[in-house]
A and B are shown apart, each in its own frame.
Chain A
Amino acid sequence: MFTLIGRRLVQLVPTLFLVSVLIFSLQHLLPGDPALVMAGEEATPEVVEQIRKRYNLDKPLPVQYVHWIGGVLQGDLGESMRLRLPVGQLILQKLPVTLQLAFMAMAIALLIGIPAGVISAVKRGTATDHAVNVFALAGISTPNFWLGIMLILLFAVKLGWLPASGYVSPFVDVQRSLATTILPAIVLGTAIAGVIMRHMRSAMLQALDSDYVRTARAKGLHERTVVWKHAVRNAITPVITLGALEFGTLLSGAVLTEQIFSIPGFGKLIVDAVFNRDYAVVQGVVLITAATYILMNLLADLGYILANPRLRT
C-alpha cells in the first residue's frame, strides 16, 4: 500500500516534467509576439526590443525553457509581463477564490448527482427515472455562459435578490461571500451534477446486476441495505475518479463562468494571460493546476484500490 503511494508520488515527476514541456512548447507555438502585445499602441522598435531583452524573448527557445524551469525549481515562477508582479504572488491571490468556488460547485454537484443517480438506477424505467434523467441532462446540455447570464438577469436584475457579480472573501463577510459565489457555483455545479448522476446511474445498474448483489439479495438482506451498502459501495468507484477529474477541471475550467460573474479566480487569470501572451503567468498557472490535478488523480486511484480489493496487489 505504502510502496504504491510512493511509486505514484515518484511518477509525479515525469508527468509534471511532461506538462512543463507541453505547455511551454504549445505556448511558444502560438502566433503572436508578446513584446508587440505588451507594447500595444506604443510599439516603437526600441521599446519592443527592450521588452524582448528583459524577458529573454530574444534567446533561443531551449535556453528560455531552461531559464524558466530553473527558476521554477528554485521556487520562482517568474514575473508577469503585463502586471510586473511575481507569478507566485498572483497565484496566491487567486487560489483561495478558485478553491472556494470549486468546493461549492462540487458540493452542489455531489449533493444532487449521487442521490439522483442512485434513485434513477433503483427506479430504473419508471417516471422518476425519466424525470431525474431529464433534469441531469438539462444541466449538462445548457451552455454555461448562457445559464450564467440568465441567472444574473433573473436574480440580480429582475428580482434584485443577489449581487450581479463580483466577489467578497468569506473572511470579510460570510453572507456576502456566499451571495456572490452561489450563482456561479450553481452554474458550475449543475453541469457537473449531470455528469456525476449519469456515471452513478450507469455504475449502479452494473452493480445491481452483479453477482455480489445477487448473493446479498439471496441472503435475504433488506433491499435498502443491498442498495446502499453493497451496490453503492461498488458503484461509487468510477464516480470518485470522475469527481476528482472534474474537480481538477474546476480549478481552471471555470473560464467563461468566472468571466461572466467577474470572479477573480484562476480561470480569468489564465485566459487574460493567454490573450496577452503573458507567458510566465500561463506557464505558472498551468503548472500549479496540473500539479493539483495530478494529486487529485492520485487520490482517485487510491479510492479505486480501496473500493476494489482485488486490485490491491
Chain B
Amino acid sequence: MSAATEPATVSGAGSHDHLVDSPRRRVWRRLKARPAALVALCVVVVIVLAALLAPLLAPYDPTQQSWTAVRQAPSWQHWFGTDEVGRDVFSRVLYGARASLAAGVVSIVIAVIFGVPLGLLAGYVGGWVDAALSRLTDAMLAIPFLILAIALAAFLGPNLTNAMIAIGISATPIFIRLTRGQVLTVKAEDYVEAARAVGNPGWRIALRHILPNVLPPLLVQVTLTIAAAVIAEASLSFLGLGQQPPMPSWGSMLNSAQRFLSNAPWMAIYPGMAIFLTVLSFNVLGDGLRDALDPRAK
C-alpha cells in the first residue's frame, strides 16, 4: 500500500496546472468520481480487514481437522464447505488472506524500494552506471521469472518470508527497466530541458520533474505485479517453498484442491475467487489512482 499512497503527496509538484486545492485533496476528489475505483478500494479494505481480524471472524480454527466431515459441500455450518481433511474452507480463506496479501504487498515494496531508485539513477545519470545497471537488469530479466524465484526461494530456505523476498527480488528488474525507460522519455521533454537550462541541480530535476511523470506507468506496473506476486506465491507454495502446512495460503489451498476439482469443486472455487477478487480490486484501484494522479488530467 505504501507504494500507492506515496505518490499522492508529490504528484502535484511536476504539474503545470493551477493548484486550486492541495494535491492530496484533488486526488481524493478525482478518485471519488470513479465508482469502480471506490468499490475496489472498499473491497481491498474489506480484504485487509478480513486478514487482520481473521481470528475474530473465522467460525472455526483454520487448522482444526474433522475426519468425519471431509470434503463436505457448502452448507449453513460450513459456508464454503470443508477441505480434504475436514477443515473449514471459509476460515482458511480468511486466514489465507494474510499469506497472500503479505506476499503481494511485501514483495512489491521490496521491488519498488530497490527498483525505482536504481532505475532513476540509471536513466538520469547515464554513462557507465547506466551501462552496468542495464546489463544486470537485462541478465536478470532474461532469466525466467519463476525459475529465478524458485532458485532464490530454494536457496533462502522454505518459508513464507523467504518466498516474499524471492518474489520481490525477481520482480525488481522490471521496475528498474520501466523507470529507466520512462526517465529517458521524460528527459527529452521541453519542461525538463527548461528546468535544466534554468540551472536546477540534477537531483532536484529527478525528484521534482522526472519522478512524478514516471509514477503513473509505474503505478500501473505495481498493480499488475501484485497480481503476479500473488500467483507467484501460489506457485512457490506448490513447490513447497511458500507457506508451510498446516497454515493456509490461497495458493496452497488451490494446489491441494487441484486433485478434487470434479468431486469437491468448492475447495478450488473459493480460494480461486479470493485470488481473483483481490487481484481484480488492486487492479481497478490502481487504475483509478492512475487517472486521479495524472497531473494533466482534468
A contacts B directly (C-beta below 8 A): yes
Known contacts A26-B152, A30-B154, A293-B142; decide if A143 and B258 are in contact (CB<8 Å).
no
Q: How far is the CA of A294 from the CA of B224 in the complex (A)?
A: 22
Q: Cα distance A228–B65 when bound, in Å?
A: 60
CB neighbours (8 Å) of A14 from chain B are 135
Closest to B280 in A: A141
**Does B56 reach chain A (CB closer than 8 Å)?**
no
With A153-B261, A308-B185 as known contacts, state yes or no: A19 contacts B142, CB within 8 Å. yes
User: Is B118 located at the chain interface by the 8 A CB criterion?
Assistant: no
Across the two chains, which residue of chain B brings its CB closest to A19?
B139
* Closest partner residue, chain B, to A27 (CB atom): B151
In the complex, how many angstroms separate the beta carbon of A193 from the nearest chain B beta carbon?
13
- Bound CA span A133–B296, Å: 21
Interface residues of B in 257-274 (CB under 8 A from A): 258, 261-262, 268, 272
| Chain B residues whose CB sits within 8 angstroms of the CB of A304 once the complex forms | 181
Q: How far is the CA of A23 from the CA of B144 in the complex (A)?
A: 10
Contact, CB under 8 Å: A143 / B143? no
| CB within 8 Å for A274 and B224 given contacts A15-B135, A18-B136, A143-B234 | no
Q: Does B13 contact A (CB under 8 A)?
A: no
Contact with A along B111-149 (1 / 0, CB 8 A): 000000000000000000001001110111111111110
Report if A245-B141 is in contact (Cβ < 8 Å); known contacts: A274-B147, A308-B185, A311-B188.
Answer: yes
Decide if A113 is an interface residue (CB 8 Å cutoff). no
A142 to B277, CA, bound (A): 9
0/1 string, A145-172, CB within 8 A of B gives 1: 1100100010000000000000000000
Please give the number of chain A residues whose Cβ is less than 8 angstroms from any Cβ of chain B in the complex. 57
Let me know if B155 and A249 touch, CB within 8 A: no
Chain B residue with the shortest CB-CB distance to A253:
B144
B36 within 8 A of A: yes
User: For residue A282, which residues in chain B have a CB less than 8 angstroms away from its CB?
Assistant: 147
Q: How far is the CA of A249 from the CA of B174 in the complex (A)?
A: 12
Of the residues B148, B188, B227, B254, contact of A140 by C-beta under 8 Å: B227
CA distance A10 to B152 in the complex (A): 29
B contacts with A, residue count (CB < 8 A) = 52
Residues of chain B within 8 A of A31, CB atoms compared: 154-155
Q: Bound state CA distance, A294 and B136, in angstroms?
A: 12
Query: B133 → chain A, closest Cβ, in Å?
Result: 12
| Interface flags, B151-169, vs A, CB<8A=1, else 0 | 1101100000000000000
> Does chain A have a CB within 8 A of B276?
yes
Chain B residues near A30: list those with CB within 8 A: 151, 154-155
15 extra interchain contacts, Cβ-Cβ under 8 A, other than A23-B143, A140-B227? A11-B134, A15-B142, A18-B139, A19-B143, A27-B151, A137-B280, A141-B227, A141-B279, A141-B280, A143-B272, A253-B146, A270-B144, A270-B147, A293-B142, A308-B188
The 5 closest A-B pairs by CB, nearest first: A290-B142, A18-B139, A141-B279, A252-B144, A26-B151
A interface residue numbers (CB < 8 A to B): 11, 14-16, 18-19, 22-23, 26-27, 29-31, 130, 133, 137-138, 140-146, 149, 153, 195, 198-199, 202, 205-206, 209, 238, 241, 245, 248-249, 251-253, 255-256, 270, 274, 282, 286, 289-291, 293-294, 297, 304, 308, 310-311
> Can you list 10 pairs linking A and B with CB atoms under 8 Å apart?
A15-B135, A22-B140, A133-B36, A146-B272, A149-B258, A149-B261, A202-B290, A290-B139, A294-B142, A297-B141
B-side interface residues toward A, CB under 8 Å? 36, 131, 134-136, 138-148, 150-152, 154-155, 174, 181, 184-185, 188, 216-217, 220, 224, 227, 231, 234-235, 254, 258, 261-262, 268, 272, 275-276, 279-280, 283-284, 287, 290-291, 294, 296-297
